[in-house]
Chain A
Amino acid sequence: QKEVEQNSGPLSVPEGAIASLNCTYSDRVSQSFFWYRQYSGKSPELIMSIYSNGDKEDGRFTAQLNKASQYVSLLIRDSQPSDSATYLCAVSFYFGSGTKLNVKP
């Protein structure tokens, strides 16, 4: 399977801070990139998709894509305790192992 790499964490940030999640991938021809959020015991749900180089913003979330570096990231501004979850990076249909985020009140 195509390689999608993420730091497993946990990443701990205080409430109100910016959380930065990173992902690298191996397949240079990939065209579609996604970030999913998965709460413990639940199924993954999409929070962001990005297809072109650059930044894409949606509310408190910003996805960044750099195809030359094969790198995609997710920034969460004003982090809330409710953001505590595992964040999965997906390249096409292939998923990284996820980064666990803890937002401390």
Chain B
Amino acid sequence: DAGVIQSPRHEVTEMGQEVTLRCKPISGHNSLFWYRQTMMRGLELLIYFNNNVPIDDSGMPEDRFSAKMPNASFSTLKIQPSEPRDSAVYFCASTPPGQTYNEQFFGPGTRLTVL
């Protein structure tokens, strides 16, 4: 079975441009998470969805960041406008239904560089 799929794997853009990251969770999983990883701040939870509904977006750094999950098989994280400090690896993870806190399955990540 396919794991969590993320695209693109690498993105280089210029400051001020809009960036859209995409994620397809594992089929049957009902929770989806977006994380950002940097050397300085480690792995930060940005937002998570349960059954396509945003549950906690307190980690979203500012209004420039937005996330959507229009259906069970697709989610996007958008940054508009992008800034150099947004450069990081962005991971998407999903978990199966069941107990409240389950093992997370991570995608390969998107490495974002904002020049």
- State the B residues within 8 Å of A (CB): 33, 35, 41-45, 48, 58-59, 91, 99-104, 106-109
Give Cα A90 to B42, complex, Å. Answer: 12
Task: Known contacts A88-B43, A97-B42, A98-B42; decide if A43 and B106 are in contact (CB<8 Å).
Answer: yes
Within 8 A of B (CB), among A69-103: 88, 90, 92-98
Distance between B103 CB and nearest chain A CB, rounded to angstroms: 5
With both beta carbons as reference points, the residue of chain A lying nearest to B55 in the complex is identified as A93
Chain B residues with CB below 8 A from A46, complex form:
103-104
| Interface flag for A45 (CB, 8 Å) | yes
Interface residues on chain A, number (Cβ under 8 Å)? 19
Give Cα A105 to B1, complex, Å. Answer: 36
- State the A residues within 8 Å of B (CB): 1, 31-32, 34, 42-46, 49, 88, 90, 92-98
Give Cα A34 to B43, complex, Å. Answer: 14
Give Cα A95 to B38, complex, Å. Answer: 13
Contact between B104 and A32, CB atoms less than 8 A apart:
no
Give the residue of B48, B91, B107, B108 whose beta carbon is less than 8 angstroms from that of A93.
B48
Distance between B13 CB and nearest chain A CB, rounded to angstroms: 21
Chain B residues with CB below 8 A from A93, complex form:
33, 45, 48, 101, 104
Contact between A31 and B42, CB atoms less than 8 A apart:
no
Chain B residues with CB below 8 A from A97, complex form:
41-43
